Amino acid sequence: MNLTQEDWISQLEADENAVILDVRTEDECNDGIIEHAINIDIHQGQVFINDIEALDKTKNYYVYCRSGARSAKACEIMNELGIAHAYNLTGGILAWNGDIVSP
């Protein structure tokens, strides 16, 4: 599900079962991440699939990338792999107005 930044943040802040997932490359993450995000690079192919399959399917995942395209695809894959609640940050980190921290 695609959410605007405002909806993504308000839903995330109210969600005690939330996990923030960054699907960018390691190099991109080195430029800064949203605080508490875990990184699983969507470009890693089968490694990405394996890492997603290993996630706790009872959690709610708030997913972002650089512009929102890769994270939208990641949410689709996550849904196919049994993760019912994956929320894409529309516009990605480029549109992010919140804090960025070092990984």
Q: Is residue 65 annotated as part of the catalytic site, yes or no?
A: yes
Which contacts (CB < 8 Å, 24+ apart) does range 7-15 have? 8/62, 8/87, 8/89, 8/90, 9/98, 11/62, 11/87, 12/62, 12/87, 15/60, 15/62
Point out the catalytic residue in the list 65, 78, 89, 93.
65
Total Cβ atoms within 10 A of residue 15: 14
* Residues forming the active site: 65
